[in-house]
């Protein structure tokens, strides 16, 4: 062994003395360290899917109920640091006639003990945002596919953690962006794939939702932790509901990618005003010296192919709910809230909206095949008009078949990255900020999301 080791050292020393040797050594090192891309990955089909859950509050309990309704899926274990929520979901499964799932509730990190089990295939995560990345990473490192609520990450470093871990473990990491499975959004995807809007130029998405009432959710509930993000951060801190569908229309990470962005933010007035009007002067919300997050944030994204995307966010102002959902091509435009359509040569007038019953006829004509096939079941399954159920069904269908997921880790990273990058842009007087290429160049060869169903 000593002679072999000495020979190896002499060989490396000799190579280091020549430029050719250095180049070869560098290439060998690059090959050894090269990550294996997961875009479009087809993994081993799972006939039976054994699911574990971390966080079963408002969203998580809904995921448990949905998974119970899907064929070939078993709820194996549940972890939550809030005992009432944990007991309620365990009881729900048991009372429905299924085997009682194992419960893990000994604190914030008892989910790690759950991950030591050998009967888990997937982990579904619905916890406060700051836990999403670390739980996804822990799940993948334990050999499980990870599915997380939005956003998947809060920093660029966390985005890369997700990508690196998914590539290292060859496990799925999907951010469960349910809005991609809405009827209107799936219709738009079909419209784009059929080429009826022409070449795509511009998209708009948003999350405009008055959520000030969540500030009453104390001491437990979404508002108990989410409110602090409005106080401490300033940016588009929840971008994916409107952005995800537009990204799929444009084939982001699959023939195009986000290149750079710029963001502006309004004054932060709504939250302190709501706190003053609804809580006692000595309440914790009235003790916040400064609310940083502007009530309205607008982000403009430029893609590698030159397209533009506007993303807006406002969870503080009194206004009707909207995700905007606009997609503009060289031949026409679709806009949501309410649904409107204008296509040159197809609708009566390209400069006038087709609205109401007439646009509904058009939507039915070009309904996404998957929604046409599964829409009624989705509506019965529930969750935001059926999109939640359809998303879960589709996730499990892909796992059963061993097919690529509709959303992969690159989508989770790119869509989530708009949050921290918008904060960086705003802090620098709205200067443009580059968006990392989380696919490491593979966006040029990954095919756009197909029309399935």
- Is the same domain home to 171 and 191? no
Task: Note the pTM of the prediction, 2 decimals.
Answer: 0.92
Residue 37 falls inside a structural domain: no
The CATH code of the domain that includes 84 is: 3.40.50.720
How many domains in the chain?
A: 2
Integer angstrom CA distances of residue 132 from 140, 149, 164, 394: 12, 8, 15, 22
Do the Cβ atoms of 244 and 408 come closer than 8 Å? no
- Is the same domain home to 252 and 154? no
As given in the structure block, the two tokens for residue 394 are 């589709």
Residue 356 falls inside a structural domain: yes
As given in the structure block, the two tokens for residue 350 are 């390209």
- Choose one of 175, 200, 228: the last residue of a domain: 175
- Is the same domain home to 159 and 215? no
Residue 77 falls inside a structural domain: yes
- Is the same domain home to 317 and 398? yes
CA–CA gap between residue 379 and residue 263 (Å, rounded): 36
- Is the same domain home to 216 and 273? yes
CA–CA gap between residue 369 and residue 352 (Å, rounded): 28
- Is the same domain home to 97 and 243? no
For residue 331, the model assigns a pLDDT of 97
- Choose one of 154, 175, 196: the last residue of a domain: 175
Do the Cβ atoms of 363 and 339 come closer than 8 Å? yes
The residue among 145, 54, 434, 431 whose CA lies nearest residue 263 is 431
The residue among 247, 266, 353 whose CA lies nearest residue 308 is 247
- Is the same domain home to 123 and 235? no
Length in residues, the chain = 453
The CATH code of the domain that includes 439 is: 3.30.360.10
Residue 375 falls inside a structural domain: yes
Residue 23 falls inside a structural domain: no
- Is the same domain home to 399 and 367? yes
CA–CA gap between residue 81 and residue 97 (Å, rounded): 25
pLDDT tens digit string along 47-67?
A: 999 999 999 998 999 999 999
For residue 35, the model assigns a pLDDT of 86
- Is the same domain home to 153 and 195? no
- Is the same domain home to 158 and 264? no
Structural domain boundaries enclosing 376: 180-444
Do the Cβ atoms of 63 and 53 come closer than 8 Å? yes
Residue 28 falls inside a structural domain: no
Q: What is the 3-state secondary structure (H, E, C) of the chain?
A: CHHHHHHHHHHHHHHHCCHHHHHHHHHHHHHHHCCCCCCCCCCCCCCCEEEEEECCCHHHHHHHHHHHCCCCEEEEEEECCCHHHHHHHHHHHHHCCCCCCEEECCCCCCHHHHCCCCCCCEEEECCCHHHHHHHHHHHHHCCCEEEECCCCCCCHHHHHHHHHHHHHHCCCEEECCHHHHCHHHHHHHHHHHCCCCCCEEEEEEEEECCCHHHHHCCCCCHHHHHHHHHHHCCCCCCCHHHHHHHHHHHCECCCECEEEEEEEECCCCHHHHHHHHHCCCCCHHHHCCCCCCCCCEEEEEEECCCCEEEEEEECCCCCCCECCCEEEECCEEEECCCCEEEECCCCCCCCCCECHHHHHHHHHHCCCHHHHHHHHHHHHHCCHHHHHHHHHHHHHHHHHHCCCCCCCHHHHHHHHHHHHHHHHHHHCCCCCEECCCCCCCHHHCCCCCCCCC
- Is the same domain home to 191 and 153? no
As given in the structure block, the two tokens for residue 46 are 């799972």
As given in the structure block, the two tokens for residue 227 are 């409110």
CA–CA gap between residue 325 and residue 204 (Å, rounded): 6
Residue 8 falls inside a structural domain: no
- Choose one of 150, 175, 200: the last residue of a domain: 175
**Average pLDDT, consecutive stretches of 10 residues, N- to C-terminus, the chain (453 residues):** 41 40 40 75 93 96 96 98 98 96 98 98 98 98 98 98 97 98 98 97 98 97 97 98 98 98 98 98 98 98 98 98 98 97 94 95 96 94 93 97 96 98 98 98 93 87
- Is the same domain home to 213 and 132? no
Residue 13 falls inside a structural domain: no
For residue 8, the model assigns a pLDDT of 40
Residues forming beta bridges with residue 103, ordered by sequence position: 78
């Amino acid at each position: 062994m000593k002679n072999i080791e000495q020979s190896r050292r002499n060989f490396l020393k000799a190579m280091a003395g020549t430029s050719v040797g250095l180049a070869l050594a560098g290439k060998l090192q690059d090959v050894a360290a090269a990550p294996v891309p997961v875009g479009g990955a087809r993994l081993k089909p799972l006939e039976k899917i054994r699911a574990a859950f971390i966080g079963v509050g408002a969203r998580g309990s809904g995921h448990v109920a949905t998974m119970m309704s899907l064929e070939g899926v078993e709820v194996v274990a549940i972890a939550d640091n809030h005992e009432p929520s944990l007991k309620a979901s365990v009881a729900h499964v048991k009372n429905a006639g299924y085997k009682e799932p194992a419960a893990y509730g000994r604190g914030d990190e008892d989910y790690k003990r759950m991950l030591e089990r050998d009967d888990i295939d997937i982990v579904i995560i619905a916890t406060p945002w700051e836990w999403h990345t670390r739980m996804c990473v822990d799940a993948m490192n334990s050999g499980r596919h990870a599915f997380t609520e939005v956003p998947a990450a809060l920093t660029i470093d966390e985005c890369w953690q997700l990508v690196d871990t998914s590539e290292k473990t060859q496990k799925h990491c999907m951010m469960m962006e349910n809005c991609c499975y809405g009827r209107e959004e799936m219709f738009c995807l079909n419209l784009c794939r059929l080429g009826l809007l022409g070449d795509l130029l511009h998209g708009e998405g948003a999350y405009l939702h008055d959520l000030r009432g969540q500030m009453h959710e104390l001491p437990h509930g979404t508002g108990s932790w989410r409110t602090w993000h409005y106080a401490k951060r300033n940016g588009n801190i929840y971008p994916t509901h409107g952005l995800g569908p537009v990204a799929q229309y444009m084939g982001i990470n699959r023939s195009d990618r986000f290149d750079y962005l710029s963001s502006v933010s309004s004054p932060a007035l709504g939250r302190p005003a709501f706190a003053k009007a609804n809580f006692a002067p000595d309440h914790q919300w009235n003790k916040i010296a400064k609310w940083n997050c502007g009530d309205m944030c607008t982000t403009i994204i430029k893609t590698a192919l030159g397209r533009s995307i506007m993303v807006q966010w406002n969870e503080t102002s009194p206004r009707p709910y909207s995700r905007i959902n606009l997609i503009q091509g060289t031949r026409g435009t679709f806009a949501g809230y309410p649904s409107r359509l204008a296509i040159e040569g197809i609708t009566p007038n390209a400069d006038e909206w087709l609205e109401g019953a007439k646009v509904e006829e058009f939507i039915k004509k070009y309904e996404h095949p998957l929604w046409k096939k599964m829409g009624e079941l989705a509506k019965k399954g529930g969750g935001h008009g059926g999109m939640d159920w359809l998303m879960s069904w589709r996730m499990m269908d892909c796992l059963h078949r061993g097919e690529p997921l509709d959303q992969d880790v690159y989508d989770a990273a790119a869509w989530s990255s708009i949050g921290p990058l918008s904060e960086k842009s705003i802090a620098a007087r709205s200067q443009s900020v580059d968006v990392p290429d989380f696919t490491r160049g593979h966006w040029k060869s990954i095919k756009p999301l197909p029309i399935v169903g």
